[in-house]
Structure 1
Amino acid sequence: MPAPVFLCGRIVRLEPLAEHHIEALTVAAGEDRGSYAFTPVPSGAEATERYVADALAAQAAGRALPFATVRVADGLVVGSTRFCELDYWQGPVIWPPAPHGPLGDPLTAIPDATEIGGTWLSARAQGTGINTEAKLLMLRHAFETWGVRRVSMRADARNTRSRAAIERLGAVLDGVHRAHTRGLDGMVRGTAFYSILDEEWPQVRVRLEQRVAADPAAEAAPAAEGERPLVSA
């Protein structure tokens, strides 16, 4: 499975999720929760402990690579995100198709496709440019360090806010899987699936870099001296 890695930009740093983030994540998730109707965000210390434990178990099983989202300006933890659905295409064809683990040494394996998901931000971090730069860092790592062929994203079909954010990244709507699963409200929901392919990445990257460069918040918060550099190929 891919090794944990720090991904650092001008206004956001993605750190490998760890138990020491629990307290700060509890505080971040405890701000105004009005935007979490369609997003699974832990509420309270015990729920956050379970959230982190489950994320780390998924990482240990090779199913995910979770991060704590940290604001560079003051080191404040403002949310979480992750790579998930890590898929490896080596070996014999498996039918029906489904994500599966790597052949050989899992510690050195890199995926052929992945999904970015489990993303949430505290109320104060929303609309500040943090999400855009975080997605740029993750997409750059996936396409340029791992060399994946596809990065997927998904959202509750009713979640127009998240869907608009995904579309602004340059992701293409693959379709809506109708009556796909139950939502957080218990209602049967559709799921909108999006993707960015490796041949689309150069154009997507240019647009995202332009957005990040034009963001006043990004210009006002350069990385501190000694900060780990932006991870790229």
Structure 2
Amino acid sequence: MPVPVFLHGRTVRLEPLGEHHIEGLAAAAAEDRSSYAFTPVPHGPEATARYVAEALAARAAGRALPFATVRIADGLVMGSTRFCELDYWQGPVQWPPAPRGPLGDPLTAIPDAVEIGGTWLSAHAQGTGINTETKLLMLRHAFETWGVRRVSLRADSRNARSRAAIERLGAVLEGVHRAHTRGLDGMVRGTAFYSILDEEWPGVRAGLEHRVEHRAEHRAGAGHHHAPERTRPLVSA
């Protein structure tokens, strides 16, 4: 299981999720919950404490690597995201194929494939470029530090905004699993699956870096006083 890491960008820092983030996460999630229809986002301090405890348990079990999304300028917690569905391909070929844990020391093992999920942002952080930079940091770590072959993302098939945001990253739609599971509203939902492969990463990276640079230039030109766009709320599950 990869050890927790800090990932630093221009305007955002991803910190290993911890109990000290509970208050900030609860405040972020309480701003405006109208964009959270398709993704589990905790509501209130008690629910946020459970959310963090479950994420830490998943990390301890080697199933996830959760982060708090933090604005560098003032240390404000703006949401959360994580690596999950870590898959290891070393060792004898396994049939039928299925995700499996690492061989050898789990503390030094690195995955061959991983998923990015559980992403949500506070209302005021949505549409500001934070998600783009967050994904750039995570994809760069997955492909360039771990050397994974594949990064997956998924979304409720009904979540048009989240799917469009994933596609803007440069991810390829693999298909929709129809009647795949139950959604937060209790309805049976389809799930849209996307992926980015290691050979696609250079092109995806160039596009993301261009978007992050363009956003930085726009902020500098506006003197940081422009109102953020509110047209692209970002959540995925």
Which residue number corresponds to residue 78 of structure 1?
Answer: 78
Q: How many residues align?
A: 222
Contact kept, 8 Å, 1:129 with 1:217, in 2: the verdict is no
Matched residue of 1:200: which SS? helix
Q: Which amino acid aligns with 1:17?
A: L
Which residue number corresponds to residue 232 of structure 2?
Answer: none
Q: Which amino acid aligns with 2:31?
A: E
The CA deviation at 1:97 is: 2.3
Partners of 1:95 and 1:203 in 2: how far apart?
33
Matched residue of 2:184: which SS? coil
Partners of 1:187 and 1:93 in 2: how far apart?
38
Contact kept, 8 Å, 1:22 with 1:45, in 2: the verdict is yes
Which residue number corresponds to residue 113 of structure 1?
Answer: 113
Which residue number corresponds to residue 200 of structure 2?
Answer: 200
Q: Which amino acid aligns with 2:81?
A: T
Distance 1:89 1:108, change over 3 A: same
Which residue number corresponds to residue 13 of structure 1?
Answer: 13
TM-score (norm 2): 0.91
TM-score (norm 1): 0.93
RMSD over aligned CA atoms reads 1.4
The CA deviation at 1:119 is: 0.2
Q: Which amino acid aligns with 1:146?
A: W
Matched residue of 1:83: which SS? strand
Which residue number corresponds to residue 53 of structure 1?
Answer: 53
Distance 1:183 1:217, change over 3 A: farther
Cα displacement string for residues 129-153 of structure 1 (whole angstroms, at most 9, x for unaligned residues): 0000000000000000000000000
The CA deviation at 1:59 is: 0.4
Cα displacement string for residues 94-153 of structure 1 (whole angstroms, at most 9, x for unaligned residues): 333222110000000000000000000000100010000000000000000000000000
Q: Which amino acid aligns with 2:130?
A: I
Which residue number corresponds to residue 155 of structure 1?
Answer: 155
Which residue number corresponds to residue 103 of structure 1?
Answer: 103
1:146 aligns with 2:153: no
Q: Which amino acid aligns with 1:21?
A: H
Cα displacement string for residues 183-226 of structure 1 (whole angstroms, at most 9, x for unaligned residues): 000000000000000000000000000000000477549xxxxx
1:35 aligns with 2:45: no
| % identity of equivalent residues | 83
Matches within 5 A, 1:116-195: 116-195=116-195
Matched residue of 1:199: which SS? helix
Q: Which amino acid aligns with 2:5?
A: V
Contact kept, 8 Å, 1:79 with 1:120, in 2: the verdict is yes
Partners of 1:204 and 1:31 in 2: how far apart?
32
Q: Where do 5+ consecutive residues of structure 1 fail to align?
A: 222-233
